[in-house]
Structure 1
Amino acid sequence: HIVSANKGPLVLRMQELKQAARAAGVSIKYSGATAAALPTTDVGLTCLAGADILKIEGIVTGTTNLILTRMAEQGIPYKEALKEAQKMGMAETDPTLDVEGWDTANKTVILANSLMDCNLKLSDVTVKGITNLDPAYVKKTKENGKEIKLLGVAEKINGNVRAYVRSTMIDSTHPLFGVNGTDKGITYTTDTMGIITVTGGRAGPVGTAAAMLKDLINIYRE
């Protein structure tokens, strides 16, 4: 059996990996690869079985959500908020993959290919990160009762799945409104089960390790 939190092989060769696992009669589980402890794939594969997932919206990178929260609450520049996140151990020394949106894009590809019967490539995703956001704009948005969130979105349009990552203004009617700090969240829009949202989930290495342990336990239970 295989348990992994490594996004690279899943983004590049998911279908081949799944075919090889089926041929060998083993399981492959990777819930820790898509937002650490937040049960993203678990909910989609198990709780929404039988439903057609029409849209996925996710705040799946704790680093960028923390930075945006600091910018919104304190009005501080992006670079200052990034330094705070690095001091907390939430951002890498080189945070490029997170802040430019590629971490979210990788996770969005994995989720879409796992749950929406498609074969997206990373190059299919339009990606724009948070590095050029005006802190005054982010803070003013918060003061006006709205929030700026880095969302990874995959949506079925005329039978095809389109995906993008970008900073998006949301209001209190959005299911992911109020997901702040290092918390993450995922919203599934389905044909028969309505809109399902899960939020929270510990970020960082401990959350990822806990997700991998969960996968191991579930393989044993099967």
Structure 2
Amino acid sequence: MPDHEPLRVALVGCGSVGASVARLLVESADDLAARAGRPLELAGIAVRRQRPRPEVPVDASLFTTDAVELVSRPEVDLVVEVMGGIEPARSVVLAALKNGASVVTANKALMAEDGSTLHAAAEAAGVDLYYEAAVAGAIPILRPLRESLVGDRVQRVLGIVNGTTNFILSKMSESGAGFAEALDEATELGYAEADPTADVEGFDAAAKAAILASLAFHTRVPLGAVHREGITEVTAADVASARAMGRVVKLLAIAERVDGGVSVRVHPAMIPAAHPLASVHDAFNAVFVQADAAGELMFYGRGAGGDPTASAVLGDLVAAARHRVGGVNGPGESAYADLPVRPMGETTTRYHVSLDVDDRPGVLAAVAQAFAGHGVSIQTVRQEGHADDAVLVLVTHSAPDAALAATVQELRELEIVRDVSSVMRVEGG
């Protein structure tokens, strides 16, 4: 291929991320050509509905509503998929790979749900499949896990990977607001969708956790194996209690090696105020990695938005273009370890439990007996109020999550316990 011959790029999806990708391809054309080794030229842009798009500086004739036809054109070398969702995105990506085009995607749901199928199709076609933008927006975390740390043994990945929930929890911590009030503010500012379920119920973070774990531990981690809890039950009292303990509440994606397998989970947790992740505020994301040789690493930045996510997309696009020019491929899927994914009940963790109780002799002994009966020891106990307003706040030592959950269930059934008002896991320190 002559040096001046362009590589043809098909763009599928033209929302905020797709529009930023198209604009940057035009505005940074010379720099991208120098970095990729060939000019990168838009072959077409697939959209759901044909309509004027003045924010995208390309000829209107490039737009089409037939994504499969676009990515199947013989002249297309590279495909960028930023439409999201499972279908028709999966069919489009598979068609592109079958056509021999390398694919860059920002689709976390698709990669978490069916990444192994797409990797197999890419390998069969001898092309690249990259998806840095699928996790944590502009933050380069997938390539370090897949390439920079491939010679190391990663033990744990701990991350704040959803900006909406981090904004909500930050506001609850700063102002003492309740969940509903903080969600309303996030919606007004554009951080939360009209339907925030995917964010606040942890679905978005769970998909990202599955991808991170698969790369970190060389193991296929299906989305269904990720334990998921959202933040809708987090109260202002929970946040205040965490503050009293010198902690903050964050929605965490946690993937770690345990007992010859891996544990992957998403849930709110109290972490020490001194932990690096505790200082991650508003809609920012951060991922904390612990590896045997490298030690502790922290990746921090904007986890969403058109331009930040487009930055990650273009990084992948340039890498795939370089490989195309050189006639080589980048690293594909690495799932050789094939470690079992342990259920949440086998995962060792700690609980913070708040109980509304009768303030009379024998209450603390009965509560302690419930914990002891399940092999759970108590680290700290604090009593607040008295008489009808008595509250016991307990923090446990580490124990299997199943034992902790069973203890909480028994506490709910005790006559002396009027209500288990709060249960939250405690991480670190």
TM range (shorter): over 0.9
Say if 2:222 is the partner of 1:110.
no
Whole-Å separation in 2 of the counterparts to 1:164 and 1:202: 19
Answer yes or no: is the 8 Å Cα contact 1:73–1:139 preserved in 2.
no
Answer yes or no: is the 8 Å Cα contact 1:129–1:150 preserved in 2.
yes
Displacement of 1:22 in angstroms is 1.6
Answer yes or no: is the 8 Å Cα contact 2:163–2:303 preserved in 1.
no
Whole-Å separation in 2 of the counterparts to 1:150 and 1:4: 25
Answer yes or no: is the 8 Å Cα contact 1:34–1:107 preserved in 2.
yes
Decide whether aligned partners of structure 1 residues 142 and 42 sit closer, same or farther in structure 2, where only a CA change above 3 A counts.
Answer: farther
Alignment partner, residue 56 of structure 1: 157
Alignment partner, residue 135 of structure 1: 236
Higher deviation after alignment, 55-64 or 10-19: 10-19
Higher deviation after alignment, 178-187 or 165-174: 165-174
Write the mapping of 1:136-175 to structure 2, written as runs, cut at 5 A.
136-142=237-243, 144-175=245-276
Q: After superposition, what is the alpha-carbon deviation per residue over 1:54-108, rounded to whole angstroms, capped at 9, x for unaligned?
A: 1111100000000000000001111111111111111110000100111100100
Q: Which has the higher contact order (CA 8 A, sep 6+)?
A: 1
Displacement of 1:201 in angstroms is 2.5
Whole-Å separation in 2 of the counterparts to 1:194 and 1:175: 14
Say if 2:31 is the partner of 1:31.
no
Unaligned 5+ residue runs, structure 1? none
Whole-Å separation in 1 of the counterparts to 2:167 and 2:244: 17
Alignment partner, residue 16 of structure 1: 117
Alignment partner, residue 189 of structure 1: 290
Say if 2:171 is the partner of 1:70.
yes
Answer yes or no: is the 8 Å Cα contact 1:66–1:182 preserved in 2.
yes
TM-score by length of 1: 0.94
SS of the aligned residue for 1:198 comes to strand
Whole-Å separation in 2 of the counterparts to 1:20 and 1:10: 13
Letter in 2 for 1:77: G
Displacement of 1:37 in angstroms is 1.0
Between Structure 1 and Structure 2, the one with more helix by share is 1
SS of the aligned residue for 2:276 comes to coil
TM-score by length of 2: 0.50
Whole-Å separation in 1 of the counterparts to 2:172 and 2:184: 12
Q: After superposition, what is the alpha-carbon deviation per residue over 1:137-189, rounded to whole angstroms, capped at 9, x for unaligned?
A: 21443365321010011111122111111111111342312011111110111
Letter in 2 for 1:101: G
Whole-Å separation in 2 of the counterparts to 1:99 and 1:122: 17
Unaligned 5+ residue runs, structure 2? 1-101, 324-429
The structure that has the greater radius of gyration is: 2
Say if 2:199 is the partner of 1:98.
yes
Q: After superposition, what is the alpha-carbon deviation per residue over 1:18-39, rounded to whole angstroms, capped at 9, x for unaligned?
A: 1221221111111111111111
Displacement of 1:200 in angstroms is 1.7
Answer yes or no: is the 8 Å Cα contact 1:108–1:163 preserved in 2.
yes
Alignment partner, residue 279 of structure 2: 178
Higher deviation after alignment, 39-48 or 141-150: 141-150
Alignment partner, residue 200 of structure 1: 301
Answer yes or no: is the 8 Å Cα contact 2:161–2:208 preserved in 1.
yes
Whole-Å separation in 2 of the counterparts to 1:84 and 1:69: 12
Answer yes or no: is the 8 Å Cα contact 1:56–1:155 preserved in 2.
yes
Higher deviation after alignment, 212-221 or 89-98: 212-221
Alignment partner, residue 124 of structure 1: 225
Whole-Å separation in 1 of the counterparts to 2:162 and 2:240: 20
% same residue? 38
Whole-Å separation in 1 of the counterparts to 2:307 and 2:246: 33
